[in-house]
Amino acid sequence: MSSTAEAAAEHREEEEAPAGEDEDTGAQVAPIVKLEEVAVSTGEEDEDPILDLKAKLYRFDKDGNQWKERGAGTVKFLKHKVTGKVRLLMRQSKTLKICANHLILPAMTVQEHAGNEKSCVWHARDFADGELKHEFFCIRFASIENCKKFMETFQEVAESQNQEENSDASAAAGLLENLSVEGKTDAEKKDEEKSDNKTAEKESSSGKESKTDSEKKDEEPASSA
């Protein structure tokens, strides 16, 4: 019994004894796998953000006749540095999954959601799911100010896109007009060349006729002699 008790006491003392500090052996362990830094493209590198707000997005489900949540995150208006086109892009906060992705077109309008000053609605042909779909969106903000800011920016962008389309159309019309004028000038040049050729041919033929008459006159005295 005494030996058993002594063994148990020694065991307890070993468990209660403080653990020794880890010794620094100076050894260096090389990583098994070397990870290289990879550049991740967001697709927004060629665009400048116009507006960036936190919000929650919904889409109207026609089959169920109800609003369904698309996600909560950041909604942006992004303007392309080259083309000047502006699109609306929204991603979920945690997963960064795209909730909405469509261009702002001149014919598009946004209006306040009935009965809620923090929400607004609009129609769009959206590409968030990888294919164009006609969607009816509703977005809700934390404050009335943010909702108004979103609506004002939306309308300003739509109007600016309309002006750009008009300027593009005017430029295209001017180009077509120049082409038609140049084409007309070329046609006139060809007509002038044809008329000059005909005039030269007439002068040449008249010269031949006059030469023939003079030759006949020269021959007549000789024959009479």
Confidence of residue 216 (pLDDT cuts 50, 70, 90): very low
H/E run at residue 210: helix 144-224
Which regions of the chain does DSSP assign to beta strands (E)? Answer: 47-61, 66-80, 86-92, 98-103, 110-112, 119-126, 133-140
Tell me the pTM.
Answer: 0.60
Backbone angles phi, psi at 153, to 5 degrees: -65, -40
**Cα 195 to the center of its chain, rounded Å:** 54
Backbone angles phi, psi at 47, to 5 degrees: -130, 150
Q: Which of 14-18, 128-132, 189-193 has the lowest mean pLDDT?
A: 14-18
Query: Average pLDDT of 157-178?
Result: 69
Backbone angles phi, psi at 145, to 5 degrees: -60, -45
Confidence of residue 166 (pLDDT cuts 50, 70, 90): low
**Cα 46 to the center of its chain, rounded Å:** 9
